[in-house]
Amino acid sequence: MSPESVGIDDSQDVLYRLVDQESGEVLIAAEDLLDYFMEEDREPPETVTFVRAHRVGRARRKTEWAELQVVDRQGATIGAYDIGRVSAAFRHELVPPGEDRPDLGYSFFGYICEYPLAGEVWRQWATRRPVEPGEWARHPSDWHESWLHVVQTAWFESGRNATRYETGGTAVIDSTAITTRDAFYCALGEAVNGPGGYFGSNLDALFDCLRTARRDEAAPFRLVWRNFAASREALGSDFTERVLALFEECGVETELS
């Protein structure tokens, strides 16, 4: 066993890495995470548990500038959270001999992620890439908020901007699976920028995407909104009218069917 780590960092199993941003050192890498993705109104836990740790840095037990990275099976970072100050809640000498995959805790002095199903979504994205068309719609409505959060986080982590990248002239959304506003943005992001694509997560963000696309001189597109009446019933007429007004303001031709 090396003096720097406990276990081996096997990227095919690791899903999370806790990294000191100043040095780039991996403090811990693990297969799963407990008590970080939680309901907004739950009391934050004293420690976040890294499940089946593959690598535990010995040189640094705490840092003021930690980043939690979500990684895919090739070890590439697909999402990241600025955590700030963290401290190990374990002692190396108490890790049982021969235990190369222990569950270990760190105290996070920053925030937790208030999207309770985001961890499940991240696991899907890490193990089954690329994202399949309509994959978000195969989940119940209580997944939509967390799915949209992962979409937005992964989109910006990849270095892309809040704009339009696809070149097709027509974007089509179907109201069949749109039962929540989060689902609408999941559908719109996919229609405009492909599976896993982002194109806003609220009305202000949608406006930013639309005006940035115009500023970037992205090719204009036409939006076909199928089963619009179903969307209006599910989302409310006030919301759908405001969305249509934004499209009109930004020069997007819409067809409601």
Rounded distance between C-alpha atoms, residue 46 and residue 89, angstroms: 9
> What is the DSSP secondary structure assignment for residue 92, as one 8-state letter?
G
Strands (E) across the chain are located at: 16-20, 26-34, 48-56, 62-71, 77-88, 104-108, 170-174, 222-226, 253-256
pLDDT of residue 5: 39
**Cα–Cα distance list, 4 to 22, 65, 165 (Å):** 18, 20, 43
Assigned CATH for 142-256: 3.30.370.10
Rounded distance between C-alpha atoms, residue 125 and residue 139, angstroms: 14
Helices first, then strands: H and E counts in the chain? 6, 9
Rounded distance between C-alpha atoms, residue 140 and residue 120, angstroms: 13
Rounded distance between C-alpha atoms, residue 127 and residue 149, angstroms: 18
Q: First CA to last CA across the chain, in angstroms? A: 64
- Each domain of the chain, given as residue ranges in start order, spans 16-118, 142-256
Crossing angle of the two packed helices 228-235 and 237-249, in degrees rounded to 10: 120
pLDDT of residue 3: 31
- For the record, the structure tokens of 119 come out as 């961890």
pLDDT tens-digit profile, the chain (257 residues): 233 333 444 567 899 999 999 999 999 999 999 999 998 777 777 899 999 988 776 656 889 999 999 999 999 999 999 999 999 987 655 555 555 678 899 999 877 899 999 999 999 999 877 899 999 999 999 999 999 999 999 999 999 999 999 767 899 999 988 999 999 999 999 999 999 999 999 999 999 999 998 888 877 889 999 999 999 999 999 999 999 999 999 999 999 98
Strands (E) across 59-176 are located at: 62-71, 77-88, 104-108, 170-174
